[in-house]
Amino acid sequence: MKPFLNDILKVMQREYQRFGTRATYAFFTFLGPLIAFILVIWLFSYNVPRELPVALVDLDHTSLSRKLASAADATPIADLQAYPDIAAAKRALMEGKADAIFLIPSETEEKVLGGRQAEVILYLNNTNVLKGGLITSGVMKSCLTISGGIQVLSQTKKGEAWDQALEATMPVMPDTHILFNPFINYSYFLASMLLPVMLIVFVLMGSVYAIGTELKQGTGIQWLESAGGNIWTALLGKMLPYTLIFLVQAWIMDLLLFHYLEVPLHGHLHVLLVTQFLLILSYQSLAVFLIALTYNLRLSLSLAAAYTMMALTFSGLTYPLADMPPLARSFASLFPFTYYLQNFIGQAMRNEPVTNGIVPMAWLWAFILLGILFVPRLRYLLKEEKYWGRI
């Protein structure tokens, strides 16, 4: 046992010396993740989108149209800006100065007072689905409130009691309870996904770089010799410092999420911590797989960058996995991040039982096993000179 520990310490000492020779090591392990975390936190510092610009075109110029405009402007989502006609409002929409056009046609009040149906129109730039949905919800709810009030007043003038008029106007009253993310907080929705994505980018690329430079520089033999010729000792001694560093980065991420952004943690913290540990090991194991498969540092780094970014696409958070084609759903299973996200949402948002986290963690172990299977191949590459020096 003592020789084994001594060999690990020798490898760690050697890695510490290599760490100080290139700034790239510091960027992948320290600076890169922290800069990425700060950038994401800054982007979502307001938590909820507010005061989205909406062009108002009031062609009616009546007390009712002013009430409609005032009610829409009172919502926290919309910031109404008046335009003289639809052409000017359209120019603002095309130039990106407005996200929607709220048009109140002429004769709106006249139709309402005459007992006829009147329409107000919302032209929406729905290229950004999230903003479009928020504007639609905010403006339309304000219009429905005004419309309901008009109907209630009309019924009371006919002699009905207020309660009866209200029930007649809205015989079915929706009672909505938002179970998860009740404040429509985008920190809960996007920051909780982007922060771990930033982490896995640097875990995978940093691990690929640490292993791949041994092949590129032809120092694999010295690396193995420092471990007494044992590839398992060599890998453990090399990867252990990075594992600990990335674990600390993950804890910093947790502090930012749960304390600074105040993302709820309704479930079991220890399940999340174990899942994060397995996530880091999974991507470090995938680094072994990529280097052993390509024996090319540049290609491995390119594949690592693409692979981690694709994890975001197929995570199922922005577009439901259940609605994806079968082929796309099968792609989602190829990324450890998918299983991490299942446990994160299950524990942080839903307070699921601990047993629900077992299957996602088992899948993370499968990725770790994949890297382990390619360790003998890596040992062969390190000892064969024909694989050295490739960019």
Q: Token pair for residue 164?
A: 């009866």
pLDDT of residue 111: 80
H or E, element range at 52? strand 52-58
How many other C-beta atoms are found inside a 10 Å radius of the C-beta of residue 324?
15
CATH 3.40.1710.10 fits 52-169, yes or no: yes
Question: Is this prediction's pTM over 0.85?
Answer: no
Highest mean pLDDT among 70-79, 181-190, 359-368: 359-368
Share of the chain above pLDDT 90, in %: 42
Q: In the chain, what are the domain boundaries?
A: 2-45+185-387, 52-169
CA distance linking residue 275 with residue 99, whole number of Å = 40
Q: What is the pLDDT of residues 314-342, one digit of tens each?
A: 887 777 777 778 887 888 889 999 999 99
Q: Token pair for residue 292?
A: 């052993």
Helices marked H in 158-268: 162-169, 186, 192-217, 220-226, 231-255
Q: What is the pLDDT of residues 219-266, one digit of tens each?
A: 889 999 999 899 999 999 999 999 999 999 999 999 998 888 888 888
CA distance linking residue 102 with residue 75, whole number of Å = 14
Q: Token pair for residue 162?
A: 């207020």
SS (H, E, C) 101-166: EEEECCCHHHHHHCCCCCCCEEEECCCCHHHHHHHHHHHHHHHHHHHHHHHHHHHHHCCCCHHHHH
CA distance linking residue 78 with residue 94, whole number of Å = 18
Quick one: average pLDDT of 114-137? Answer: 79
pLDDT of residue 339: 94
Q: What is the pLDDT of residues 56-110, one digit of tens each?
A: 999 988 888 888 888 888 888 888 999 999 999 999 988 888 988 999 888 888 8
CA distance linking residue 180 with residue 88, whole number of Å = 40
CA distance linking residue 339 with residue 279, whole number of Å = 9
pLDDT of residue 200: 96
Mean pLDDT of the chain: 85
- Cβ neighbours for 40, distance < 8 A, ≥ 6 positions apart: 191, 194, 195, 198
pLDDT at 127 > cutoff 80: no
Residue among 306, 300, 290 nearest 374 (CA): 290
